[in-house]
Amino acid sequence: MADTAKPKTGTARSSGTRRRGRRDTAAGLAGETPDVLLDYYRQMLFIRRFEERTAQAYTQARIGGYCHLNLGEEATVVGLMTALQQRDYLFTNYRDHGYAIGKGMDPKRVMAELYGRSDGVSRGWGGSMHMYDTETRMLGGYGIVGGQLPLATGAALAISYRGGDEVVMCQMGDGTTNIGAWHESLNIAKLWNLPIVFVVINNFTGMGTTVDMSSAEPELYKRGSAFRIEGERVDGRDVLAVRDTAARLVERAREEQTPFLLEAWSHRMKGHSVVDPAKYRTDEQKDEARSEENDPIALFGARLSEAGILTDELRDELAASVKEEVAEAADFAENSPHPDVSTLFDYTYATPVPNESRRMPADPVFAE
Ligand SMILES: Cc1ncc(C[n+]2csc(CCOP(=O)(O)OP(=O)(O)O)c2C)c(N)n1
């Protein structure tokens, strides 16, 4: 087990400004080409602006239901999605918009799903928590905490059974590590040597409950050891570190046909969901979570600027093009029709269920 970039506490406390004052060399930027680095920067910025637009649309009542954002987790999202091959499968919790886009879904259709419109990836019936698309192999956003774990483990079993070389990545939050499905899934995954990487996004809180308050072992990457699953921790604010660590574990899962556990820590910039004012956090904690020191985009932007890759001009250009693309997604969603009410039960049950107001969904379909 590796122990890198270690958070000492379950509260939203920074582990320091490791990047400050250090001049990045090409090696510090993983020897990557400027094009690749700028692409990561743009992807992170895109998720940031997309989520901000989502929050705005929510307050305008264009988006309904529950809605959770990836603000502060952009480097983790982009790093993880870059580590996956196209043929690999992804399962996430409800904080799924950035992942859906990162796995290859059209942002316009993701926004349309948020608006509950028929051009959405789940035809408008899923909403924020249920992005799903077999083509890009994003097999869901799940609203039940831990609900994705047994399903992801089952997908890994299917791969193993068929002798495939795909890998499953299963994302979740820190709070999920105390759900029964966590223990059952990790146990089976190791017992049956399944090609799956469980990724815990440690943003230090499950809603308002800190990791220290909820976990007897708050060093989350160690939690796989009960199942003899190797675990690593990575600084989730660092897109390159996340990419490299995740890619290594994904490829090992593919080669060795065995599960791994990755913990990526970063700060949740806002409340648990768009309607949560996060009153359980002190002003100091709020400031810290939103500070430049913990903002993955500001951190990476500074590194690229220092290395002479991101000029002021380029920064403005990227900001403008991202703004435009997000606005296009919102326009697309706005202009997409609402799904027809007659399709309400079409995608809920495997067998047909008549859409009758007097019959409850669970009632037998063909009862006399
Ligand atoms: C089984 C279940 N219990 C409770 C909830 C309510 N709930 C929604 S999110 C959440 C917190 C989960 O926190 P974490 O796993 O850390 O994920 P994060 O929101 O930080 O991404 C809870 C308790 C739920 N959706 N499902």
For residue range 264-307, list pLDDT tens digits in order.
999 999 999 999 999 999 999 999 999 999 999 999 999 999 99
d(CA 126, CA 348): 10
Output the 3-class SS for the chain. CCCCCCCCCCCCCCCCCCCCCCCCCCCCCCCCCHHHHHHHHHHHHHHHHHHHHHHHHHHCCCCCCCCCCCCCCHHHHHHHHHHCCCCCEEEEECCCHHHHHHCCCCHHHHHHHHCCCCCCCCCCCCCCCCCCECCCCEEEEECCCCCHHHHHHHHHHHHHHHCCCCCEEEEEEHHHHHCHHHHHHHHHHHHCCCCEEEEEEECCEECCEEHHHHCCCCCHHHHHHHHCCCEEEEECCCHHHHHHHHHHHHHHHHHHCCCEEEEEECCCCCCCCCCCCCCCCCHHHHHHHHCHHHCHHHHHHHHHHHCCCCCHHHHHHHHHHHHHHHHHHHHHHHHCCCCCHHHCCCCCCCCCCCCCCCCCCCCCCCCC
Cα of 301 to ligand 1 centre, how many Å? 31
Strands 205-206 and 209-210: antiparallel
> Token digits for 2?
């590796």
Cα of 179 to ligand 1 centre, how many Å? 10
Q: In this structure, which residue's CA is closest to atom 11 in ligand 1?
A: 206
Classify domain 30-337 by CATH number. 3.40.50.970
Pocket of ligand 1 (CB under 6 A): 93, 95, 143-145, 172-176, 201, 203, 206-207, 272
- Specify the pTM: 0.91
Q: Which is the closest atom of ligand 1 to the Cα of 145?
A: 26
Reference 218, options 184, 259, 177; nearest CA is 177
Burial of 293 (0-12, 13-18, 19+ CB in 10 A): middle
Task: Indicate the top mutation candidate among 172, 207, 268 to test ligand 1's pocket, ranked by most ligand atoms within 8 A of CB.
Answer: 207
Cα of 130 to ligand 1 centre, how many Å? 15
Residue 160 confidence (pLDDT): 98
Which residue in this structure is represented by tokens 């193993």?
160
Cα of 176 to ligand 1 centre, how many Å? 7
Beta bridge partners of 90: 138, 169
Q: What is the pLDDT of residues 49-89, one digit of tens each?
A: 999 999 999 999 999 999 999 999 999 999 999 999 999 99
Q: In this structure, which residue's CA is closest to atom 25 in ligand 1?
A: 144
Q: Confidence class of residue 22 from pLDDT cuts 50, 70 and 90?
A: very low
Cα of 175 to ligand 1 centre, how many Å? 6
Does the pLDDT value for residue 200 go beyond 60? Answer: yes
Residue 347 confidence (pLDDT): 78
Does the pLDDT value for residue 19 go beyond 60? Answer: no
d(CA 244, CA 297): 18
Task: Spell out the residues 6+ positions from residue 232 whose beta carbon is closer than 8 angstroms to its own.
Answer: 1, 2, 4, 221, 245, 249, 260, 261, 262, 263
> Token digits for 321?
């093009």
Q: What is the pLDDT of residues 93-126, one digit of tens each?
A: 999 999 999 999 999 999 999 999 999 999 999 9
Q: What is the pLDDT of residues 150-164, one digit of tens each?
A: 999 999 999 999 999
Residue 2 confidence (pLDDT): 56
Encoded amino acid at 170, one letter: C
Q: Which is the closest atom of ligand 1 to the Cα of 268?
A: 20
